[in-house]
Structure 1
Amino acid sequence: MAPVGHKSDVSNESLEKTFSMKGGKGESSYVNNSQAQAQHARSMLHLLRETLDLVQLNSPEIPFVVADLGCSCGSNTIYMIDVIIKHITKRYEATDYEQPPEFSAFFSDLPSNDFNTLFQLLPPYGGGSMEECLASNSHRSYFAAGVPGSFYRRLFPAKSVDVFYSAFSLHWLSQVPDIVLDKRSTAYNKGKIFIHGANESTATAYKKQFQGDLAGFLRSRSKEMKRGGSMFLVCLGRTSLDPTDQGGAGLLFGTHFQDAWDDLVQEGLITSEKRDNFNIPVYAPSLHDFKEVVEADGSFIINKLDVFRGGSPLVVNQPDDAAEIGRALANSCRSVSGVLVDAHIGDQLSEELFYRVEHRASSQAKELLEQLQFFHIVASLSLA
């Protein structure tokens, strides 16, 4: 069969403008496939609160500013902002101040993020006193705004933010390293769409890209954070020292997802070159990868930096239902990478690809539930 027509490739130059978690409220949307992220984030609330206890409280006359970087479009970000503001409010109530400050929350992600869905999920602002807002479960106690842009660059005015929060975002690179897409390079990732099991040169290129991106992130936040501010970061991580072993991320993108791309090539639906020009811009760092950048930058003090077992990214009602597990894996992959796949091979072939992911995952459902486990790097940082 001749290759089906498709859209043009997503270049690194356009990645920032096109990439996002899958918007809307459909079956494969991020809204309906982020339950695992919610569970993992809630398991770390005690660590988040420890970070919040380190934040310097200023006069209540000065608004307290919180920013979620990589907020996406689901209810998870709204829940976490609420947790942060309620905790800071309790800290103010325990001081001699008569009342807490006004709160401002910035939801930030790339311009292509589905901010419309996010804003529709936001409860209305209480409008009355802060006490009335906090007493109401149906209203929010903060002013809200969306901030489009890459968090690898500046997003806010200097010394304007008290708390930065970012969960499950920093493993997404600003781009696929150019040399990974260069046929003349030893880092060319021939035959693969991810670095799991790739050669050393490819893995080194990805690591260098991650560390350069993280350095840019830290430089930007160090300028934007108020003196006495703190930051809580969570991203995919790995326990192996070998960057070609991407752990849970490797199993998610480097097995059934990889095999589904190979199916399209073998069936003549796409060329092998078309497959090789698609690479997932994700890097799950080791603790050393992360720490090396933070220490070299020097802007932040490390309060806590560790690797935690996050659990499975698959949330299913019937663990014995192979078909449900297959759908869960396909929807999980699609919710985070579907926009990139659609742009690279078009909607029709994207449907074919994720159908194959679902079918392959269903045939090995039991092994998936047992083996697919994520680890997370958790970092608590304060301005030096």
Structure 2
Amino acid sequence: MGDNVVVSNMELERLLSMKGGKGEASYANNSQAQAIHAKSMLHLLKEALDGVELHAPNIPFVVVDLGCSCGTNTINVVDVMVEHIIKRYEALGCNPPEFSAFFTDLPSNDFNTLFQLLPPMANYGNSMEECLAANNHRCYFAAGVPGSFYRRLFPARSVDIFHSAFSLHWLSQVPESVEDKRSDAYNKGRVFTHGASEITTNAYKKQFQRDLAGFLNSRSIEMKSKGTMFLVCLGRTSVDPTDQGGAGLLFGTHFQDAWDDLVQEGLISNEKRDDFNIPVYAPSLQDFKEVVEADGSFSINKLEVFKGGSPLVVNQPDDASEVGRALANSCRSVAGVLVDAHIGDKLSEELFLRVEKRAANQGKELLEKLQFFHIVASLSFVL
């Protein structure tokens, strides 16, 4: 039944990915809410792009999406970035340069599905106007880059724009003290930080800040002079780190209760549940700001909490069964790979069936309560 499998922190980077493919529980089919949230923030992205320094047309312009996953959302945002920069060149009466776009994520990401979704390349021998006018084509060279964005991924001074959405709340590892039975931070009885002890959540906060510091240090080496970063991650409005907001409701209620169901039914042990922790932390503005200011490589153009809305998209809000299925699929699309590795496919199926049933019991109330807030940061590189 997979009861002898434990996902260690060393394995996390190798395993962690959004659920690939194009099935019902895949990320590609359960990221409509992220698309809606991203669209609502496009004006902030374009505002950030207006601050990027344009260079000579003979130098390729490089954009990077960090944490691209495997759906169309990453393609859409790269399209927006490239087209916006092209328009800036044209407004100055200059010919735009060639563009390169790099899609990055952990090695376990389903790059194959992503590449299948990429539209064909437009003929770069034509003018940029013809390139933009070509329907269902892209105006940039594309490549995938596997690796953790908490480390270096690109040559020094090679990137103009870094973009990352809905990724930085994923930690590089579960804090070691949280999984240490001898530690006061041991997260006994829980699989997430929502409602956990202050000691446990502080361990998560410190891990988030260490990870963000590594992220900023790497980007400060890779970015060109006066380049820009636009970052979006789950955030919270509460000063209390034990209140993880929308992330807490997604992973800390029905998901948590479903694990408890498996324990009470004798399908897994208490210890097996306690050995599993979701490596996610929703920071406050202050958590984020402290790291950026301590790094000192980036000036803050904008740093705010943005209300994204519900992570669930349903056709019939009054249909409790559809709401339950949507929440289970949403949860599974982002955490299912880790659950599968920890307890095996069969028990994972049982767990998410219980998530679906529990969520359906609240239905419309759940839609109203489950709201995500995001930290939105526009940063300029300062040499």
If the TM-score is normalised by the length of the shorter chain, which range does it land in? over 0.9
Which aligned pairs between 1:1-384 and structure 2 lie closer than 5 A?
4-6=1-3, 8-97=5-94, 99-127=95-123, 128-129=125-126, 130-384=128-382
After TM superposition, give the deviation of residue 9 of structure 1 in Å: 1.4
2: distance between equivalents of 1:6 and 1:292? 41
2: distance between equivalents of 1:78 and 1:378? 20
Q: What amino acid does structure 2 have at the position aligned with 1:102? A: E
1: distance between equivalents of 2:57 and 2:336? 44
2: distance between equivalents of 1:87 and 1:126? 17
After TM superposition, give the deviation of residue 134 of structure 1 in Å: 1.1
1:125-184, CA deviations, whole angstroms, 9 ceiling, x for partnerless residues? 012323322111211100000000000000000000000000000000000000100000
2: distance between equivalents of 1:270 and 1:7? 10
Q: Is the 8 A contact 1:125 1:141 kept in 2?
A: yes
1:226-267, CA deviations, whole angstroms, 9 ceiling, x for partnerless residues? 001000000000000010000000000000000000000000
2: distance between equivalents of 1:168 and 1:376? 8
Which structure 1 residue ranges, 4+ long, deviate > 4 Å from structure 2?
Answer: none
1: distance between equivalents of 2:298 and 2:2? 49
1: distance between equivalents of 2:218 and 2:201? 26
Q: Is the 8 A contact 2:2 2:342 kept in 1?
A: no
1: distance between equivalents of 2:250 and 2:288? 22
1: distance between equivalents of 2:200 and 2:2? 30
Q: Is the 8 A contact 2:192 2:278 kept in 1?
A: yes
More displaced, 5-14 or 270-279? 5-14
Q: Is the 8 A contact 1:7 1:343 kept in 2?
A: no
Q: Please state whether the residue corresponding to 1:20 is helix, strand or coil.
A: coil
More displaced, 124-133 or 179-188? 124-133
After TM superposition, give the deviation of residue 220 of structure 1 in Å: 0.3
2: distance between equivalents of 1:53 and 1:249? 32
Q: Is the 8 A contact 1:327 1:358 kept in 2?
A: yes
Q: Please state whether the residue corresponding to 2:100 is helix, strand or coil.
A: strand
Q: Please state whether the residue corresponding to 1:21 is helix, strand or coil.
A: coil
More displaced, 124-133 or 313-322? 124-133
2: distance between equivalents of 1:181 and 1:5? 19
Q: Is the 8 A contact 1:222 1:383 kept in 2?
A: yes
Q: Is the 8 A contact 2:301 2:378 kept in 1?
A: yes
2: distance between equivalents of 1:96 and 1:31? 39
After TM superposition, give the deviation of residue 268 of structure 1 in Å: 0.6
Q: What amino acid does structure 1 have at the position aligned with 2:190? A: K
Q: Please state whether the residue corresponding to 1:326 is helix, strand or coil.
A: helix
Query: What is the count of residue pairs matched by the alignment?
Result: 380
Q: TM-score, normalised by structure 2?
A: 0.98
Q: Please state whether the residue corresponding to 1:58 is helix, strand or coil.
A: coil
- How many percent identity over aligned positions? 78
After TM superposition, give the deviation of residue 94 of structure 1 in Å: 1.0
Q: TM-score, normalised by structure 1?
A: 0.98
Q: Which runs of 5+ in 2 are unaligned?
A: none
Q: Is the 8 A contact 1:233 1:378 kept in 2?
A: yes
User: Quick one: structure 1 residues 104 and 7, their matched pair in 2 at CA, closer, same or farther if it must change by over 3 Å?
Assistant: farther
2: distance between equivalents of 1:369 and 1:24? 27
Q: Is the 8 A contact 1:158 1:224 kept in 2?
A: yes
Q: Please state whether the residue corresponding to 1:74 is helix, strand or coil.
A: coil
After TM superposition, give the deviation of residue 7 of structure 1 in Å: 6.0
After TM superposition, give the deviation of residue 6 of structure 1 in Å: 4.2
Q: Which runs of 5+ in 1 are unaligned?
A: none
2: distance between equivalents of 1:6 and 1:155? 36
